[in-house]
Every structure is written in structure tokens, then in C-alpha cells.
Amino acid sequence: MSALRRPLIISGPSGVGKGTLIRRLLGEYPARFGFSCSHTTRPPRPGEQEGIDYFFTTREKLQAEIDAGKFLEHATVHNNLYGTSFDAVREVQDEGKICVLDIDVQGVLSVKKAAARGLVHNLRPLFVFIAPPSLEVLEKRLRGRETEKEEDVVRRLGNARKEVEYGWVEGNFDKIVVNGELDEAYRDLVGYIENMYYSEEEEGEEEEEEEEEKAEKEEKDER
């Protein structure tokens, strides 16, 4: 049952659709999952809200809190600083929910390095990589946003190639979901979550029942 509290880290290149999958997951299972809102130094995009999509802050303030050891992960992405605080994760866990984190591959590497040094407070996260069916499809999605300059699109595509390469290396992630068709990708993601979290919950309940039955039998034998 301890797996119920393990954070779920969902990663993937910009434009792959991980945000869409996460929003669908949170919308369908609001009692099971909570989103860990990250901090960023980039300006808000149209429609983004403070404290819901991100905590928007300055580089100086965010760096000071990172230096103070308040962050599970942090990374510089597309010239902006991003990070997830321990407080943001604990807030979701304290509600009895699985904490979902949306972080890029640099953030994943940051978490893994911190875990190797024993600095992640025994969170033991699960890592899921959302992969595009091809880099060509990813480029089409990025250009379809029409929210970024050409140089930004080129930079994101360059980073995406490296991220996809890392994502497909065996052992780097616990699960890879290819987002070619949204509904299919979502079913794959939910199936993995059900297997990793809730099948373990059922096994834990069965073990508890067996322990109770064993204790009752021993009590009867003593009589």
C-alpha cells in the first residue's frame, strides 16, 4: 500500500501531449490524483493561471529556494528555470492522493541524481515517458501551437531529439507511452497506473486480511 504515496513523474519533450494526458487523468480521477504545481521563471502563456498551471516567479527568488534545499528537482529549459518543491509534493500526498509531476528530462535527471544521494526523502517516484510517434509528428504539433517564434520551435526540436533518445534507453523510465492517438495513449497510461498502484493496494489488503486471520487462529489456539 505504500506505493499509493509514490509520486508519478510524467515526462516527455515539449509538444508531445503530456499536459493533455495529465489534465484528462486529473479530470477523470480527481479523488485519486493531485497535480504538483511547478515553479518557473518564464512568463505565463495565454490562459495559464498562477498556482494552477505554474507558480510564476523570478530567477533570483527561485534560485535562492533551490540553494536552500527546498526543491525536489530543478532544471534550466529553453533559457528558463523550472523546479518542483518538496512542499508542493507533500501538499498533494497529505490529501491522500497520488502526486502527479509534469517535468522534462532534465528534471528527471535531477530527481535521479538527488535520489542517488539520498536527498528525495524516500519518495521513490515512478517515471513515465510520453514519446511522440515520430519527430516529424512532434514538429507538426509544435508549429501548430502558433504561440512561439521560429527560433524557439527550432530550439525545442533540438532538445526533443535528445530527450526522445534518452527516453527510449532501457531502464531510464518505468513505462513508455507513445502518444500517436490520444485515446489509445490515455488507455495505456491508465492501465499502467492501475497495475502499479491499485493492484498493489489490493495485494496489501489481502495480506492484511491474512494477517488478521492468522492472529485470530493463534488466539483460538491459545484458548
Residues 6+ apart with CB under 8 A from 46: 147
| C-alpha span between 37 and 155 (Å, rounded) | 25
* Residue 143 annotated in active site: no
In angstroms, the Cα distances linking 223 to 97, 215, 216 are 43, 13, 11
Q: Which three cell numbers stand for residue 98?
A: 497520488
Active-site residue 117, yes or no?
Answer: no
> What is the rounded CA–CA span in Å between residue 35 and residue 40?
15
Q: Which of 45, 59, 124, 187 is catalytic?
A: 45
Instruction: Classify residue 185 as left (phi > 0), alpha (psi -120 to 50) or beta.
Output: alpha
Choice among 23, 143, 145, 187 that is catalytic? 145
Q: For residue 59, which amino acid is it?
A: R
Contact 176, 129 (CB under 8 A): yes
Q: Is 156 a catalytic residue?
A: yes
E strand map for the chain: 8-11, 33-35, 38-40, 54-56, 71-77, 80-85, 98-102, 126-131, 175-178
Tally of CB atoms within 10 A around 208: 11
What is the rounded distance in angstroms from the CA atom of residue 91 to the CA atom of residue 11?
21
For the annotated catalytic residues, the residue numbers are: 45, 145, 156
